[in-house]
Amino acid sequence: MTQQSGSAPGGPDDKGHISKTPAVQHALVQEKERSRGIFLHTGWRSAGTWVWSRFRALQTVTAFYEPLHPILGDIRAADIPALEPTWTSGHPTLTAPYFTEYRPFIQDNLHGVAGYRKSFSTDRFGLVPDAGFPALQAYLKNLCDQSNQDKTPVFKFCRSLGRLTWFKSAFPQVMHAVVLRNPASQFASGWLLHQQWSNPFFVAAPFRVLGLNQAEPIVKEVIEACGVRLVPTRVTTIDEYAAACEQYVRTVEGEIAYRAFIALWILGVLRSAGDADLLVDVDRLGQSPEYASALRAQVRSQVDITPGFNGARDLVAETRRNATRMKGIDGRLIRPINASALNFMVSQNGSMGSRTDVTEIIKEKLALASELSEQWRY
């Protein structure tokens, strides 16, 4: 049908103004509502690196790996090529070394990424931003602003779950996604690295983070609720305390290590899941192609990029297969520890807001963890 009068849809009217048809208006609203980047908030050994790698594979993305990692305070551009996954890490094969995207932010012949401070590397759990947060906000904003303007910035964090509320307030235009894995599988991943390859970092990390935050009321409460035994040494510098924690866990019993881990896990969940724009359930990713497709659609609707989540490993099945490799820990002790963590979560009235769906997911994760860990024996 020939249009009899007026201007073409979306074209100028007789006064030279651009008319906005319903379709154009809808597109503009969608564009305004879409996020302008992604912050992936993850825990250690949560499969967050795999999720991040799915975004990094896209030509339309600039993907920053662990922007709070302490190595960024000392790194040189010449160091980057050597920073690739080891075969013990369990990380996916990468098309470029981990920290490649930081090259433009490291001056030639100098150490460190511009704006980075070592204090950024310790998670915090206060309700309001601390005195150092403006510097952290400026550092991340610079990474966003100075990246390729035609690409979507995606950041994969491992030290931000306690500060998600701060980040969300400071970066409201970003989609904040929380990567969630059941605690038994996540703990087992770090425990096996410690047990088989003498890598104590992932077992020591919860002791370090809890110890450095033990003056915070909610941290003190979770330590007591989960029966955590912190490193029996006075907190001095971050480096000295981290070294003391790594020495401590070289001989620590598995049950004691799990108590610290679950305390930090439930604390991170309380401080992040209720505020997340998106939850990424990595346990389901490897089990359900339908879930992977739905997750892809959710990301596309919010950020207008389309990562592929197919090909994820079934991490729950792996935990079951690896049960006989878990030495130095009695799985029969795990269920009551998980119950203590659940009771602590329930005691924190309103921490999840109205997110009853998230509360149910956490209950399911703890129940799954109790089931998986029952097969662990000395």
The DSSP annotation for 29-68 comes to: HHHHHS-S-EEEE--TTSSHHHHHHHHHTSTTEEEEE-TT
The structure tokens listed for 25 are: 């208006």
Give the mean model confidence (pLDDT) for residues 69-90: 88
pLDDT of residue 6: 39
Q: How does residue 15 score in pLDDT terms, banded at 50, 70 and 90? A: very low
User: E-strand spans in the chain?
Assistant: 38-41, 61-65, 152-157, 175-180, 278-281
| Residue bearing the bigger pLDDT, 236 or 221 | 221
The pTM is what? Answer: 0.88
Give me the chain's average pLDDT, please: 89
What is the model's pLDDT at position 270? 94
pLDDT tens digits for range 223-252: 999 999 999 888 888 999 999 999 999 999
**Average confidence (pLDDT) over 305-320:** 95
End-to-end CA distance of the chain: 80
Q: To which residue do tokens 């990029």 refer?
A: 305
**Residue 40 β-bridge partners:** 156, 177
| Choice among 21-25, 109-113, 293-297 with the minimum mean pLDDT | 21-25
Residue 9 has pLDDT above 50, yes or no: no
User: How confident is the model at residue 21, as a pLDDT?
Assistant: 52
All domains in the chain, ordered by first residue: 33-373 (3.40.50)
Which pLDDT value is given to residue 26? 41
Higher pLDDT pick, 22 / 194: 194
Tell me: pLDDT of 106 over 50.
yes
- From the list 170, 159, 183, 165, the residue with the least C-alpha distance to 238 is 159
Closest CA to 204 of 190, 184, 220: 190
What are the tens digits of pLDDT across the range 260-276?
999 999 999 999 998 99
Within 87-190, strands assigned E span: 152-157, 175-180
Q: Averaged over 153-182, what is the pLDDT?
A: 97
